[in-house]
Amino acid sequence: MFEKVAIFFMTGTGNSYKIAAWFAEIAEKLGLAISMQQIKRAKLNIAPDGKTLCVFTLPTHGFTTPWLVVKQILHLPRGSGAAAVVLPSRAGTRIKGVSLPGMEGTAGYLAACLLFFKGYKVRGVMGVDMPSNWTALHWGLSKENAEFIIAAAKPRVQHFTKMVLAGKVYFASILPLIIGIWLAPVSFGYLVVAQFMLSKLFFASDKCAGCGLCARICPKQAITMTGKRNQRPYWTYACDSCMACMNYCPAKAVEASPILAIVFYYLTTIPAAAYLLNSLCKDELAGLLLNWGIVQYIYILTSIFLAYLILHTTLGWRYFSMLLSRLSHTYYFRRYHAPDVTVKDINRK
């Protein structure tokens, strides 16, 4: 049925890459031509036709599709009859021998809908439990627990792959979509505000050697190296919190600070829009702007940007950097990236 399989993966710690590799392994055994591309800021190289199956593997961010994937799908050429499947990875965990499933929400079906409107024939959607990698929030899973979750995920992906390549349609479950729609306000809040706050929680501790690996492997090129003598990474608003920087840093120097989270929380709860507009005018226009929240939204992004800029400057003082890192929970956390997945795998040209 298919002659070519074009696999596109967005990955931070290798989970989505492993799903892509499992799919490629089955397709290759069937004699199909395989191509794999990492989803980055650069335009995807794709020439779809009726003999091509396009496979998208991606992480779940805020119970929905990451911005980077949304943008890349919107920039794809028309499907021209090409088929497509979507395999979102979700944060699976295992505690004291008990496995807990993740929740992809609308991650798979939003991507599928966008592909459908671009002219692709969607042949399947299935969420895949992979080890939770959000080490900005929790410690990395142990090797034993991570391998257990991965071992359970692999046969599911292989079964899905065989079904789709045999010409069958495979939609695993609609329940995550229903829950995802219910959680849509959370997803919306994540995409327009929370992800910007989360991006500014990252900083480099005194252990940073300035090697620049974090900037090179960032899929969105959201990290810039600053400084003339001792370069340090600076996280921009483009960051998607994919966790590649934190979990692949050879010095384990990338941290996320709860102190910053508290500062950002208090900054963003200041009703700056009300103070400003009440001082300028008290007409209907002021009320309209307040209802829209335009001024408040601009204030939130600006205040976080300035606060982080000040922080980044002060981090140049080694002892301040050392103190902030020791007060961060992530300093004591185990890191995680998918077993046997190297920097080369997640940073394809």
Write out pLDDT tens, residues 240-298.
899 999 999 999 999 999 999 999 988 888 776 666 666 555 555 555 555 557 777 88
Which residues sit opposite 171 in a β-bridge? Answer: 125
Average predicted confidence (pLDDT) for the chain: 89
**pLDDT tens sequence across 133-145:** 999 999 999 999 9
Q: How confident is the model at residue 15 (pLDDT cuts 50, 70, 90)?
A: very high
pLDDT of residue 291: 55
pLDDT of residue 287: 55
pLDDT of residue 129: 96
Burial of 177 (0-12, 13-18, 19+ CB in 10 A): buried
pLDDT of residue 227: 84
pLDDT of residue 274: 65
Spatial CB neighbours of 121, under 8 Å, sequence gap ≥ 6: 79, 81, 82, 83, 84
Percent of the chain whose predicted confidence (pLDDT) is above 90: 65
- CA angle 258/308/58 to nearest 5° reads 70
Average pLDDT of span 309-322: 91
Instruction: For residue 235, give both structure tokens.
Output: 């996280």
Average pLDDT of span 23-52: 89
pLDDT of residue 282: 54
| Amino acid sitting at position 135 | T
- CA distances for 17 relative to 135, 145, 214, 339, 343, angstroms: 18, 19, 18, 11, 11
Poorest-confidence range of 43-47, 147-151, 291-295? 291-295
**pLDDT tens sequence across 195-213:** 888 999 999 999 999 999 9
How crowded is the C-beta side of 311, counted as CA atoms within 13 Å?
26
Which residues sit opposite 54 in a β-bridge? Answer: 6, 84
Tell me the H-state helices in the chain.
15-29, 67-74, 107-117, 143-165, 175-182, 184-189, 195-199, 213-217, 244-248, 258-269, 272-280, 284-292, 294-314, 318-326, 343-346
Give the number of residues written for the chain: 349
Helix/strand/coil percentages in the chain, nearest 5: 45, 20, 35
CA dihedral 69, 43, 164, 32 (to 10 degrees): -150
pTM: 0.90
Average pLDDT of span 316-324: 91
Q: Of the spans 54-63, 186-195, 228-237, 291-300, which averages the highest pLDDT?
A: 54-63
Average pLDDT of span 62-81: 91
> Pairing state of beta strands 98-100 and 83-95?
antiparallel
pLDDT > 80? residue 311: yes
Q: How confident is the model at residue 229 (pLDDT cuts 50, 70, 90)?
A: confident
In terms of Cα–Cα distance, which of 310, 290, 306, 299 is closest to 270? Answer: 299
pLDDT of residue 79: 85
Q: Are 26 and 5 in contact, with CB atoms under 8 Å apart? A: no
What is the rounded distance in angstroms from the CA atom of residue 12 to the CA atom of residue 16? 8
pLDDT > 90? residue 165: yes
pLDDT of residue 83: 94
Poorest-confidence range of 178-182, 189-193, 307-311, 335-339? 189-193
Domains in the chain, CATH or no CATH each: 4-184 (3.40.50.360), 192-332 (3.30.70.20)
What is the rounded distance in angstroms from the CA atom of residue 57 to the CA atom of residue 258? 31
Provide the phi-psi class of 105: left if phi over 0, else alpha when psi is between -120 and 50, else beta.
Answer: left
Chain Cα centroid distance, residue 238: 11
What is the rounded distance in angstroms from the CA atom of residue 253 to the CA atom of residue 47? 41
Which residues sit opposite 88 in a β-bridge? Answer: 58
